[in-house]
Amino acid sequence: MKFQVYKNGQPASVPDVNSAYVVGQDGVPARAQFEEQRGELTVRVRAESAVALCLLYDVPEFGQVMLQTTRLPERDKPYLLSLELLRQQLFLLNGKFEDWGLIDYAEAAPLTNGLADVTASFIQALSALDDPKAAHESALRGLSAALHVAERAALYHASLFLGRRLMTSGPHRREPTFGCSVDLLSIGEEYRTRLAESFDYVLLPVSWKQIEPKEKELNWSRLDNWVEWAVRKRLPIWAGPLVSFNPQFIPDWLFLWEHDFDAIRDLIYEHISRVVGRYRNYIHTWTVTSGIAADNCFNLTFDQLIEMTRMACTRTKQEDPKAKSLIDVTMPWGEYHARNLRTIPPLLYADMVVQSGTNFDGIGLQFYFGLGDDGLFVRDLMSISALLDKFANFAKPLHVTAVQVPSDTTVDPWDAWGGAKSVRDGGNWRRDWDEQLQADWLRLFYSTALSKPYVRTVAWRDLADYEGHFLSHGGLCHSDLSPKPAFAACREFRKAYHQRQGVVSLGLTPLDLGGSASGGLRIFTGASPRAPKPPMPPAALPVDE
């Protein structure tokens, strides 16, 4: 396939071919080769069926975000890239308007009118295909409008269901909802005080590499210290992953057995038994596996990965039958599968684990945006909302086990990437990332996620920009623990949520339903008398009691 690419009315190079990949049937990423020259992108695919192109694309007045075309057949005539991106966005919009029943709400008329305007731009672009430059200009206007309408629709839908959730759960039921991962090396009193005062629970990273750097030589001191502190503070503890094939968690000596699956499985079995057995009186929620569908460093087969998951969950339940066990998905869009076919696409992995009869209690999802690497490119809120809906089909509670966006675009030498990945290469949302934008995005993401009745918890990744933090400038506080606006936004959102103050108090105000991207969004605490009640979620999905 070939795509015509324009920028500022002239043939141009692809914005970022390094972010590009293709997806085939059922959204499964596939391997492809990309050849670019000014004004044209050639995609060579081995797949027999039609595929869709995904890439980072600069949309005027919206930002540089990951977008997707519809699935297209091969042909000699080039496709117009901006038009095909608009076609898919229009397809997604129409689908979500129907799924969410937005046309039934009188207050959503501006959204319906906006959808009509997007459709008109699409038709105008189609009519001008004999003049690719004019067609591109019409498609680009439509694409910008489509993304604005999509985010307003996602937030309007979130306001309805979040309002319903707040009204149906009394203020006396304060379940742990907001969490944060901790840095095990940070044992200062100020750091711990901020955690205890600002979150409902903490997530303790369990690194096998740190616990057993040499075979049979165990070091529990860091975990013991944090568990003792959390127990004293009566702060619920989540811990994990018990199994991860990310080199950050795997001890070096385990690679001696990389070609012996039975040996690796037995060693992991013993590791789970030791960890869960040691802390079962204090930790009652475990991330059993994390990212093993994406980080397949031992090149295990599909069946072996599913068997490893089943064994890990079974052993955790045997050690602590009352504990909750989660299967964690690290890159939920699955870009990694297009680069490494020895991995498993995330939705397929979750489906196979469920179909195998594995006993586990929930699915964890991680969302990182803002770095130029697979799984980290910026996505719009509609895409996030739609993905959560897809994972809800497995009838398991969802937990956002990590989320993070940056607060700056300068080089950060202290993150886990060592400044090797640039924030500027990962896209942006509305404008270049800054501290206020990070806070605004946090409010909207939390509102979107928690409006879903099947999403139980949300956890931010790093409290502070300490050395070794995951995402550049991604902490809620600076390295000296001085708070950023996002820290205050998180605390205010948590307070309003637990006190059931209504969705207006949760800060849903950065967008305007009428069409402006910078005005205020009118948020409703419930359905209007003129509109039907929000539709109930499918009976199979878990909801708050």
Domain limits, the chain: 2-162, 173-501
Q: For the segment 290-311, what is each residue's pLDDT rounded down to a tens digit?
A: 999 999 889 899 999 999 999 9
User: Residues with Cβ < 8 Å from 193, sequence gap 6 or more?
Assistant: none
Q: What is the DSSP letter of 200?
A: S
pTM: 0.91
Phi, psi (5° rounding) for residue 189? -65, -40
Q: Is the pLDDT of residue 333 over 60?
A: yes
Q: For the segment 234-276, what is each residue's pLDDT rounded down to a tens digit?
A: 999 999 999 999 888 999 999 999 889 999 999 999 999 999 9
DSSP string, 492-517: HHHHHHHTT--GGGGT--SS-TTS-S
Q: Is the pLDDT of residue 538 over 60?
A: no
Tell me the CB-side half-sphere exposure of residue 24, using CA atoms within 13 A: 15
Q: Is the pLDDT of residue 93 over 60?
A: yes
- What's the CATH fold of domain 173-501? TIM Barrel (3.20.20)
Phi, psi (5° rounding) for residue 233? -85, 0
Q: Which of 49, 9, 257 is nearest to 140 (CA)?
A: 9
Q: For the segment 493-530, what is each residue's pLDDT rounded down to a tens digit?
A: 999 898 877 655 555 543 333 333 333 333 333 333 33
Give residue 161's Cα distance to chain centre: 20
